[in-house]
Structure 1
């Protein structure tokens, strides 16, 4: 068992993963053959988005007739959940696997538990999130926000995917509710893939990494110079309002993603 507050290191072959439970249970580092794939510094690694993903409009959402207000941490909206600002507790760990949890608390208005697991192999990483309630049913979302390095020392990364649609983005940076044909980048946009998320990142002559999930939503963000983001999630931005998925006493919300890689 890992000590509370201590970074956790997982290894499999020449793959090395570091998890920081105190700072939102985020991945601090993913190294393949000694090459770091995730940005370091202020906005670094990969953090879980839970119990909502992306922006919630004006920090407001309803559960039936009850209106709730969330802190506006990206005014005028609430963004990316509370899990990334929370210290998580260790549940189990061995050489290549680990699990952590935290109990939902204010400013989230419902009681429950979130669990995140990490499973590392020589050529893949599988991440899983589970959200369960201790009582009342509530809408929720889960997903991940990785900062993949744009450049690993050679050519810039190339992003490859085929989406059925793109969520039209309004001036408030939220989906309008209208689905459009996918547009060329750069993107800070949500795409729909009903057959499951499947996005390939290719660093020519170096590495190809494939991000997959059974869920159908992915946000792709490549407007920054240093990093690109491929964010599988259980619903679109503002989904607490527009596409709510209820966590109930008999049905938790579960989402998983697998990153697999090959050297080129």
Structure 2
């Protein structure tokens, strides 16, 4: 949320014309498309991250260390930790990855699932879900994404308070009238939203296995500022804050 409260706005008829919406890459999910091993489930570690013209440093989407791997099987969705900010795709975006299968006590015995880099360019379908499959030595990983324009970034934060009892919480997100749901795993996350469209957040709150209550809240995209809503349940109070911003102009090469 670099420009959530800018001081250099230029207004025309009440609208800021200095900070325009841009082109943002939205990643919906990352899935284990195939595993060549016959073991059923495996332990994975490593990372998938992006680089764009805004900042050449890695913007991590998933990251797991060898001492704390994740257990997956073919078709599993990998929990995303990011991105930490919107991913610019005005020209191209580099997807860098190194994911390994933990097989024993020593790292030298591990197997490589995928390793390398791919490029997603601005040439292709816009404002519709699509995917790329990254093949590797021992399987493949599928990245589901959309090129979104004209888009702003929404930094969404969920605060839990007034807890009455223990409960489970899962949440997802629909953005920009796209039918592909973004699976959310954190209490703070960044989503791309097309201007003049909505972001719809869905919360499942309750206790396993049957006592679940689904709540929703909706926000309309804007270039600056923030919005808040509260969701009162029998288990706790959920405070949802959305901070709006535009991506800065990129000047660095990849």
Q: TM-score, normalised by structure 2?
A: 0.28
Q: TM-score, normalised by structure 1?
A: 0.27
Which protein has greater RCO, CA pairs closer than 8 Å, 6+ apart?
Answer: 2
